[in-house]
Amino acid sequence: MAKRNVAANSSFERTSLASLDQKLALAKRCSHEGVMAGAKAAVVATIASAIPTLASVKMLPWAKANLNHSAQALIISTVAGAAYFIVADKTVLATARKNSFNPPSNP
């Protein structure tokens, strides 16, 4: 029983727990940056796809006849969703790659 207490309180154990906490904090920061970048990209993509979609429905006879409100919403939301996931994924990967080459210093 005494050996377990010594092993649990060893400096290696504390170092690995600190390292794990540091890695967890870094992962949270990477994912937060990805979410924020993805949300910004989704807003821009929504505006960039809504304007031509709505304009084409007003001006083009084919679009007016074939694109109802559901189709218009589907086009716009698909572009926004794709932009979100692409940018968020690229941001998380870029941040993780940057942090793997430049690990944070120990406190």
pLDDT recorded at residue 101: 75
Q: How far, CA to CA in Å, does 84 sit from each of 37, 73, 101? A: 8, 16, 26
- Number of domains observed in the structure of the chain: 1
Say yes or no to pLDDT of 84 above 80. Answer: yes
In a domain, residue 4? The reply is no
C-alpha to C-alpha distance for 30 and 93, rounded to whole angstroms: 8
Could you tell me if residue 56 is inside a domain?
Answer: yes
Report if residue 94 sits inside a domain.
yes
Confidence of residue 7 (pLDDT cuts 50, 70, 90): low
Is position 93 within any domain? yes
CA 73-74-77 angle, to 5 degrees, is: 80
H helices of the chain, in order, are 2-8, 11-59, 61-66, 69-101
Say if 8 falls within a structural domain.
no
pTM recorded for the entire structure: 0.74
7 belongs to a structural domain:
no
Residue 86, domain member (yes or no): yes
The pLDDT tens digits of the residues spanning 18-66 come to 788 888 888 899 899 999 999 999 999 999 999 999 999 999 999 999 9
Q: Is residue 89 part of a domain?
A: yes
